[in-house]
Chain A
Amino acid sequence: MTHYILKRFLLMFPTLFGVAVLIFLLLRVVPGDIVEVRFMAQGQYSSEAVMAIERAKLGLDKPLWQQFTTWMWGLLHLDFGVSMWTGAPITEELKLRFELSLQLAIMATVVATLLAIPLGILAAVKQDTWIDYAVRVFSIAGLAMPSFWLGILMILAMLIIFKWLPPMVFTSFWVNPWENLAQLIWPALAVGYRYSAVATRMMRSAMLEVLREDYIRTARAKGLWLKLILSRHALKNAMLPVITVIGLEFAFLMGGLVVTEQVFSLNGLGMLFVEAISHRDYTLTQALVLIVASVFIFVNFATDIAYAWLDPRIRYR
């Protein structure tokens, strides 16, 4: 077991390194760089010489391997560097957005879990009845509706029915919890509903599989209540894949809400990513991608370990 954990742990680093190399190279393949973008934004014409000076200031004139090692060296000291566009330290840029994105991700995950687990169990127990079909239609519909459309509909409904709009400016939960929740609950519902679909499906199929196991038949045969069988025998064993799915989705929620943030005008990591990439802000984009990928890889690692630890049958040697 220790050997397995160690091996899986060490495997994370080559993957992360690969992510770093890939995003570093991808960004430099994108046509145009930050200096061009900035001069274009100001509508100025500038000579190659001026641009070259600007590039030198940002260290873009150095050979690629040197730029890469500088970045890596900084990372080893937990230093993300400064944003090429604003000149502010990247940790400063991330601070507020990270809080918003993390909170939204947590809230959406809670919504998704609260929907998925009961619905999934219900659908499995009532397999192939109209209840099962209704649950499946409900969750597939969640996957089908684009979050930006659902968002627009929600905002419109609130405007028309309640003559009220959620606040547009982010307030920290610790400063004013009501103001904060009034803003974030809507995107959390829209996103949570969408992400509950995959978990509901997973819950349903895991439950179906478990319900066919011998020990469930035994429990039934000895006359145990269905409720007790479900909660004590079946649920525990069906939860593993569901936890994995929820965990992995959480990781994606941290950085993948580009469109939802746009609709609800939230200033989170997704928006920052779009801005950074359109500014050709190499350092900021690299940092963002690396953070999102690390969260994902770490969650992946953690769920794998949890798997091996919880289910002795699949404990790897």
Chain B
Amino acid sequence: MAVTKETLESIARAGKPRARWLQATYDFARQRPLGAIGAMMILVMVLVALTANWLAPYDALTTDYGAMLSAPNAQHWLGTDTFGRDVYSRMVFGSRTALIVGLGASFIGATFGALIGVASAYFGGRIDMIVQRIMDVLISFPLIILALAVVAILGTGLQNVIFAIAIPMIPRCARVVRSSALAVREMPYVDAARAAGFTDARIVLRHMLPNVMAPYLIMLTAFLGQAILLEASLSFLGLGVQEPVAAWGLMLRGAAIEFAETAPWMGFFPGLAISLAVFGFNLFGDSLRDALDPRLRTQ
């Protein structure tokens, strides 16, 4: 093999371990431009959520009955809704709701799923069999149906919505992580850990879990977009976050449909926000999966 520019670069890179993550980020961006665009979109969304107080010209909850249903203009850039609330400001604050629910639900769902998956693979035998059958049962429910059932039990509201979205995600992650963990279980270091007399909990948490990080991260990022979409759907149905909290799905509900013809700005912009947010997360998640899954690597 001839010494190419790339090999020289990688040798040079190996010499400076501190800049490794920077280099990895750079490589990721260069090889996967779509993923980089997705990451940028996520970054923008996070920044908007953090600086919502400065970005939004109005409060998300302030009503102005003198300016109900006004079309986009200089005072209200994206118009107002039936209560005279500023659509742009509500959208800006809505990014917080979307991020909190998205991050919260997918983190809980993926983490519990990974724990169950790894433990199930590690113990194997009858425990594995029983756990997998329970996961089969949970997977048999469509995502939204199980989420609706959980909301019916816990009630609506931000916190409950997070759980309602996380619970249907657990079995999906558990199944994927388990299949990776099955291979990890056969590794010599797991045998070594067992021979050293470590407890089961320690082997699962310290030795196996870090080695299924790739499928865990893939599932986590795949869930992010889905969770935001699911929150919007639940809120749209009136079973998610409740008024007057600013949430995109909620903004599309009721009056936005009733007045879709005369006041299309009420529904159009929040829907666009949902689409862009989910699009960013999916774009990034997709590229991350390609990068982490060696079977799909191009080179």
Which residues of A pack against B, CB within 8 Å?
14-15, 18-19, 22-23, 26-27, 29-31, 127-128, 133, 136-137, 140-141, 143-146, 148-149, 152-153, 155-156, 159-160, 201, 205, 208-209, 252, 255-256, 258-259, 262-263, 273-274, 277-278, 289, 292-293, 296-297
* Contact B271 A149, beta carbon cutoff 8 Å: yes
Binds A, one of B74-82, B130-138, B176-184: B130-138
User: Does the CB pair A146–B260 fall under 8 Å?
Assistant: no
Do A26 and B282 contact each other (CB < 8 Å), given the known contacts A145-B275, A262-B237? no
Q: Are A137 and B34 in contact (CB under 8 A)?
A: yes
Q: In the complex the two chains form, what is the Cα distance from A262 to B253 in whole Å? A: 11
Other 5 A-B pairs with CB < 8 A, given A22-B138, A144-B275, A149-B274: A133-B34, A144-B279, A152-B271, A153-B268, A297-B140
Assembled-state Cα–Cα distance A19/B261 (Å): 43
The answer on a CB contact under 8 Å between A259 and B237 is: yes
The answer to the question of B163 belonging to the interface, with a C-beta cut-off of 8 Å to chain A, is no
Write the B116-147 contact mask toward A (1 if CB under 8 angstroms, else 0).
Answer: 00000000000000000110111011111100
Known A18-B133, A146-B236; contact A293-B140, beta-carbon cutoff 8 A = yes
- SS class of chain A's interface: helix, strand, loop or mixed? helix
A15 and B136 contact, Cβ closer than 8 Å, known pairs A146-B232, A159-B261: yes
Which of B84-92, B148-156, B213-221 lines the interface with chain A?
B148-156
CA of A141 to CA of B276, assembled, Å: 8
- Nearest-Cβ distance from residue A105 to partner chain B, whole angstroms: 12
**Cα–Cα distance between A273 and B148 once the two chains are bound (Å):** 10
Closest to B147 in A: A258
Q: Which residue of B is nearest A143, CB measured?
A: B282
Q: Is the CB of B140 within 8 A of A296?
A: yes
Max chain A Cβ within 10 angstroms of own Cβ: one of B134, B225, B282, B296: B282
Q: Do A15 and B140 touch across chains, with their CB atoms under 8 A apart?
A: yes
Query: How far apart are B94's CB and chain A's nearest CB, in angstroms?
Result: 13
B217-257 near A? 1/0 per residue, CB < 8 Å: 00000000100010011001100000000000100100011
Chain B residue numbers with a CB within 8 Å of A274 are: 148, 237
Q: Mark B39-63, 1 if CB is under 8 A from A, else 0.
A: 0000000000000000000000000
- Chain A residues positioned under 8 Å from B298 (CB to CB): 127-128
Interface centre among A140, A155, A208, A289 (most CB of B within 10 A): A140
Is the beta-carbon distance between B152 and A152 smaller than 8 angstroms?
no
Q: Shortest beta-carbon distance, A294 to chain B, in Å?
A: 8
Could you tell me the distance in whole angstroms from the C-beta of B55 to the nearest C-beta in chain A? 22
- Contacting pair A259 B275 (CB below 8 A): no
Whether A19 contacts B152 in the complex (CB less than 8 A), given A140-B286, A152-B252, comes out as no
Decide if A143 touches B296 in the complex (CB within 8 Å): no
Q: Are A144 and B225 in contact (CB under 8 A)?
A: yes
CA distance in complex: A258, B145 (Å): 8
Find the B residue at minimum CB distance from A12: B136
Residue B104 CB within 8 A of the other chain: no
CB atoms of B267 and A152 under 8 A apart: yes
Q: Knowing A29-B153, A30-B153, A149-B275 are in contact, say whether A259-B134 is a contact too (CB < 8 A).
A: no
CA distance A278 to B149 in the complex (A): 10
CB neighbours (8 Å) of B275 from chain A are 141, 144-146, 149
Once the chains bind, are B137 and A15 in contact (CB under 8 Å)?
Answer: yes
Bound CA span A156–B136, Å = 41
With most chain B CB atoms within 10 A of its CB, the pick from A252, A258, A262 is A258
Tell which of A19, A128, A149, A152 touches B137, judged by Cβ atoms closer than 8 Å.
Answer: A19
